[in-house]
Amino acid sequence: MDLATSEALRSRFEQVQHQINDACAQYKQNTVQLLAVSKRHSIEAIRAIHALGQQSFGENYVQEGVDKINALSDLAIEWHFIGPLQSNKTKDVAEHFAWMHTLERDKIAKRLSQQRPSHLPPLNVLIQINISQQESKSGISLQDLPALAQQVNDYDNLCLRGLMCIPAPQDEASLTQDFCSMFQAFEKLKQQYSTVDTLSMGMSGDLELAIEQGSTMVRVGSAIFGPRDSIISNENNL
Ligand SMILES: *Cc1c(COP(=O)(O)O)cnc(C)c1O
């Protein structure tokens, strides 16, 4: 990676950290974790961001994620799976990732628990909520949350950590409403399960609003790594 590229990465990464810190101070939130979403970005870009102190990275595609995890096994990275998961790919996630953000079915939960290797700690699981009630979008409704939460909590090799959402593109008032509903559901879940501590919401374009509404983890891709297409075509190493 050339110097200009690594300087650009550094500058965007620091900018995002400032943005998060400022929002935390302004809205009096204690800790908001940054998940760097590295999908379709290069191994070198991940190394560069890790060298700046970032420990957790998110990937959307199972095979791309596993390839990167293997290529970067010399680094102490906490890997989060944040994409849609088919049941024939659960083993890869169970064996390679520390977190799974997009759980929406008991069948997947059961397989993940069965396939989690015994030498690893339980897989940390977030249940994805289709908070904007979009047709044919991933996630479950809030009405279906209690049943799935109970099932996840009962599996030995899963640890229920909280909720995740990807709201619809919409005006700020509706988005605020969706984030607010997520926060209320999260608070309720926290009272029922002592392991619940994570609300994964907010991306590059809406992380301040998400933090204002109580997010504990923002998933940021393009604001750190730049536009996905340009980087991958510049560095053809995946
Ligand atoms: C790609 C992706 C992100 C990051 O999106 P940006 O707009 O690039 O910050 C966050 N969450 C999920 C689930 C994603 O797929």
Candidate of 15, 82, 199 to mutate for ligand 1, largest count of ligand atoms within 8 Å of Cβ: 82
pLDDT, tens digit (0-9, with 9 covering 90-100), for 54-91: 999 999 999 999 999 999 999 999 999 999 999 999 99
158 pLDDT higher than 70: yes
pLDDT at 1: 84
28 pLDDT higher than 60: yes
Query: How many other CB atoms sit within 10 Å of the CB of residue 133?
Result: 12
Is residue 219 in contact with ligand 1, taking CB distance under 6 Å?
Answer: yes
* Residue-range domain boundaries for the chain: 3-225
107 CA from centroid of ligand 1 (Å): 25
Residue 121 or 232, more confident: 121
> Mean pLDDT score of the chain, rounded to an integer?
94
pLDDT at 136: 83
Q: 37 - beta bridge partners?
A: 58
pLDDT, tens digit (0-9, with 9 covering 90-100), for 103-138: 999 999 999 999 999 999 999 999 999 999 999 899
Percentage, residues of the chain above pLDDT 70: 96
What's the pTM value of the predicted model, to 2 decimals? 0.95
DSSP string, the chain: --HHHHHHHHHHHHHHHHHHHHHHHHTT-S--EEEEE-TT--HHHHHHHHHTT--EEEESSHHHHHHHHHHTTTS--EEEE-S---GGGHHHHHHH-SEEEEE--HHHHHHHHHHS-TTSPPEEEEEEE-TT--TT-SSB-GGGHHHHHHHHHH-TTEEEEEEEE-PPS--HHHHHHHHHHHHHHHHHHHHH-TT--EEE---TTTHHHHHHTT-SEEEESHHHH--HHHHHHHS---
35 CA from centroid of ligand 1 (Å): 10
pLDDT category at 10 given cuts 50, 70, 90 is: very high
- Sequence-distant (6+) residues with CB within 8 A of 162 are 126, 127, 186, 189, 190, 196, 197, 198, 199, 200, 216
Residue 230 or 35, more confident: 35
Query: How many other CB atoms sit within 10 Å of the CB of residue 78?
Result: 14
Residue 235 or 88, more confident: 88
> What's the CATH number for 3-225?
3.20.20.10
pLDDT category at 229 given cuts 50, 70, 90 is: low
61 CA from centroid of ligand 1 (Å): 12
Is residue 210 in contact with ligand 1, taking CB distance under 6 Å?
Answer: no
230 pLDDT higher than 60: no
Is residue 166 in contact with ligand 1, taking CB distance under 6 Å?
Answer: yes
203 CA from centroid of ligand 1 (Å): 6
pLDDT, tens digit (0-9, with 9 covering 90-100), for 179-219: 999 999 999 999 999 999 999 999 999 999 999 999 999 99
